[in-house]
Amino acid sequence: MVIIGTPHTSNWDFVLFLAVTSHFGIAAKVIGKHTLVSGPFGWIMRGLGVIPIERGSSQGLVEVMVEEFTKAEELALVLAPEGTRGYQDYWKSGFYRIATGAEVPLVMAMVDGANKTVVLHDALKLTGDVTADMDAVRASLKGGNGINPEGGSRIRLRSEDEG
């Protein structure tokens, strides 16, 4: 499954989502620069579930992650669709393309900072109809305000407006 953690408004989101997935017995993985898993403390990052990615690789990130799903017996990949902790007009589409490419469900984890809770939604089987799928995502994620509410982004993919 691909799990999106949103809204991504704080450095603590990473720790929070790993704790939530661990609580539910989900061995979550995250994507990180390959340099994070090298050196004397690389074992810590590997232990936290970092999948190393070389940014200069000729193969795209989506293709690499779809291949990871193909090879893995079980994989739960946690991504922050905003791509950063500050406001963004559009989410990055990688989570959607990975989930549809690997034919795995999308699970939404939503931080509600005001109530100090995390809501884990039921899995959503994506249809490939980006607008309809994103409408379902938006409906599920109403009310999530993050740890720092001012940093929450609009829940929209650029492709919804381009075509």
Instruction: For the chain, count helices (H), then strands (E).
Output: 6, 6
Q: Is residue 146 within 8 Å of 119, Cβ to Cβ?
A: no
- Residue 12 pLDDT level (bands cut at 50, 70, 90): confident
What average pLDDT is seen over the chain?
Answer: 86
How many Å from the N-terminal Cα to the C-terminal Cα in the chain? 27
CA-CA distance, 142 to 69, in Å (whole number)? Answer: 29
pLDDT of residue 99: 98
- Residue 163 pLDDT level (bands cut at 50, 70, 90): low
Average pLDDT of the residues in 34-62: 82
pLDDT of residue 65: 93
CA-CA distance, 11 to 146, in Å (whole number)? Answer: 11
The predicted model scores a pTM of: 0.86
